């Protein structure tokens, strides 16, 4: 048992907790199976990992920029969210080994299902599998009070494996519409949101060809077609409005770390453009390498296998739609903050990070079916799902990780958490 435990700890610590290593190993295996020359194997493996790390640095930068906006919005709208229960950090400390085992079992189940069923999707977004495992485990612990670790690992691993197989499968018809091929799948906990984005986008089907990327802009404003420039300007304006509404003195004292509030707003906005550029660069490199390398796996190990990758893989296909949908998503959330507070429904914490990484991809899918109008509407629907979903998910997880549900309430948690909870109660 000690040997097995050591192997599991090694896999989770050095592979699943380091996604760039997982992707590099997958690329290496694919290239070896294709009998590529050694130099090609080395280059392809390294560039896959480096591409992911560039992407990861970009997403971390973006997350660090949008996070303060939530703090500013809480100040503006006087949101004071209280969360009960042990909290994510304490829960993870108590169940760390179980979460690791669930991830390993889930990955094995995913590979077996991809190998022996018609659902040929290999889920390679390791950090999202961690969050899924965390939510499933928390629900199980809450319903069963004192479940055995063996049972939660088996049940959680099976559920995770099924989710990682079926989630990309459900998105794939819409993913093909976005990418124009079957080379990539969507591996993220916003799958239900992007499906809804594509469906509501169809309301503007007759405008499908009016893509966000071909919007007609006056010649004097043509610089806005550069996604780096446009995102930097939009985010700067958003920050300036927020700073003005919250009060420059308060922002300087509580958010900017002593930096003059308006200078902070400008620098954050410009850095957002930097983050977008980094993300798009990393995505391009990673996709180019992993799609070529994965041919070996799809030919020799899992016939017709398709890699399911993190949500930014769709950003390059419609970057303007990402921004349009993010803004409409955030705007909808702000309206919900006001309305929820006015009627005493729920103290909504503006989930700005997930508005970008959930609302943005939804806009890409909405744009593919309904042009820029579809992208905007997809963002509105995403905002409603974020708002009502947070209330539902927090209500399901009060004894354990309600704080996690506030900052990372992805669409799939909102959709599946309550039904899964009810199913567990019915069975046990």
Q: In sequence order, what DSSP letters do the residues of 345-408 get, joined into one string?
A: S------HHHIIIIIHHHHHHHHHHHHHHHHHHHHHHHHHHHHHHHHHHHHH-TTTTHHHHHH-
Report d(CA 313, CA 309) in Å as an integer.
Answer: 7
CB-based contact 293:305 (threshold 8 Å):
no
Report d(CA 77, CA 352) in Å as an integer.
Answer: 14
- For tokens 């959930």, what's the residue? 358
What confidence score (pLDDT) does residue 238 get? 94
Comparing CA positions, the residue from 304, 382, 407 lying closest to residue 88 is 407
Tell me the residue range of the domain where 326 lies: 2-427
**Could you report the per-residue pLDDT of 170-183, keeping only the tens digit for each?**
999 999 999 999 99
Q: Dig out the tokens for 288 from the structure.
A: 């180019």
Comparing CA positions, the residue from 71, 20, 11 lying closest to residue 285 is 20
List beta partners, residue 306.
Answer: 121
Report d(CA 9, CA 288) in Å as an integer.
Answer: 31
Those residues whose C-beta lies under 8 Å from the C-beta of residue 56, and which sit 6 or more positions away, are: 19, 20, 282
**Could you report the per-residue pLDDT of 240-274, keeping only the tens digit for each?**
999 999 999 999 999 999 999 999 999 999 999 99
CB-based contact 272:65 (threshold 8 Å):
yes
What confidence score (pLDDT) does residue 142 get? 82
Could you give the 3-state DSSP secondary structure of residue 220? Answer: helix
- For tokens 């509030």, what's the residue? 261
Tell whether the model's pLDDT for residue 323 goes beyond 70: yes
What is the count of structural domains for the chain? 1
E strand or H helix at 306: strand 306-309
CB-based contact 351:390 (threshold 8 Å):
yes
Q: Rounded to the nearest 10 degrees, how much is the dihedral formed by the CA atoms of 86, 88, 93, 98?
A: 110
What confidence score (pLDDT) does residue 8 get? 67
**Could you report the per-residue pLDDT of 192-245, keeping only the tens digit for each?**
999 999 999 999 999 999 999 988 878 777 777 788 898 999 999 999 999 999
The CA-atom distances, in angstroms, between 379 and each of 76, 334, 373 are 22, 13, 10
CB-based contact 266:276 (threshold 8 Å):
no
Q: Rounded to the nearest 5 degrees, what angle is found at the Cα of 427, between the Cα atoms of 423 and 428?
A: 115
CB-based contact 402:84 (threshold 8 Å):
yes
- For tokens 């209280």, what's the residue? 82
Tell whether the model's pLDDT for residue 1 goes beyond 60: no
Report d(CA 30, CA 263) in Å as an integer.
Answer: 48
E strand or H helix at 122: strand 121-123
Higher pLDDT among residues 227 and 281, named by residue: 281
What confidence score (pLDDT) does residue 121 get? 97
**Could you report the per-residue pLDDT of 326-377, keeping only the tens digit for each?**
999 999 999 999 999 899 898 888 888 889 999 999 999 999 999 999 999 9
Q: Dig out the tokens for 399 from the structure.
A: 């004894």
Tell whether pTM > 0.85: yes
Higher pLDDT among residues 416 and 229, named by residue: 229
- Backbone CA torsion sign across 15, 16, 21, 22: positive
CB-based contact 46:291 (threshold 8 Å):
no
């Amino acid at each position: 048992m000690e040997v097995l435990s050591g192997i599991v700890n090694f896999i989770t610590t050095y592979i699943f907790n380091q996604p760039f290593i997982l992707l590099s190993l997958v690329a290496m295996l694919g290239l070896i199976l294709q009998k590529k020359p050694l130099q090609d194997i080395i280059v392809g493996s390294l560039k896959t990992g480096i591409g992911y790390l560039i992407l990861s640095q970009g997403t971390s930068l973006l997350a660090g920029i949008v996070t303060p906006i939530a703090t500013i919005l809480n100040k503006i709208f006087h949101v004071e969210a209280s969360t009960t229960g042990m909290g994510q950090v304490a829960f993870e400390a108590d169940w760390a080994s179980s979460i690791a085992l669930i991830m390993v079992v889930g990955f094995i189940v995913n590979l077996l299902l991809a190998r022996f069923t018609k659902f040929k999707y290999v889920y390679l977004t390791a950090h999202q599998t961690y969050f899924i495992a965390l939510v499933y485990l928390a629900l199980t612990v809450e319903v069963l009070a004192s479940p055995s670790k063996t049972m939660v690992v088996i049940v959680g691993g099976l559920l995770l494996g099924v989710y990682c197989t079926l989630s990309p499968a459900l998105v794939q018809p819409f993913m093909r519409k976005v990418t124009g091929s079957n080379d990539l799948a969507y591996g993220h906990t916003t799958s239900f949101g992007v499906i809804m984005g594509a469906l509501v986008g169809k309301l503007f089907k007759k405008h499908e060809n009016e893509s966000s990327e071909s919007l007609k802009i006056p010649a004097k404003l043509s610089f806005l077609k550069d996604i780096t420039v446009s995102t930097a300007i939009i985010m700067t304006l958003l920050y300036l409005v927020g700073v003005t509404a919250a009060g420059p003195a308060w922002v300087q004292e509580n958010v900017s770390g002593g930096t003059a509030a308006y200078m902070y707003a400008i620098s954050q906005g410009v850095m957002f453009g930097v983050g977008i550029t980094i993300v798009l660069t990393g995505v391009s490199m990673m996709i180019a390498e992993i799609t070529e390398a994965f041919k070996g796996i799809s030919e020799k190990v899992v016939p017709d296998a398709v890699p399911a990758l993190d949500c930014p893989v769709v950003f390059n296909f419609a970057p303007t739609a990402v921004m349009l949908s993010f803004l409409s998503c955030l705007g909808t959330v702000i309206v919900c903050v006001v309305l929820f507070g006015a009627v005493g429904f729920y103290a909504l914490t503006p989930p700005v990070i997930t508005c970008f990484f959930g609302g943005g991809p939804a806009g890409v899918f909405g744009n593919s079916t309904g042009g820029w109008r579809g992208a905007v509407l997809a963002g509105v629907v995403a905002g409603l799902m974020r708002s009502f979903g947070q209330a539902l998910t927090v209500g399901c997880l009060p004894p354990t990780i309600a704080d996690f549900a506030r900052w990372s309430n992805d669409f799939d948690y909102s959709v599946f958490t309550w039904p899964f909870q009810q199913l567990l109660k019915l069975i046990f």
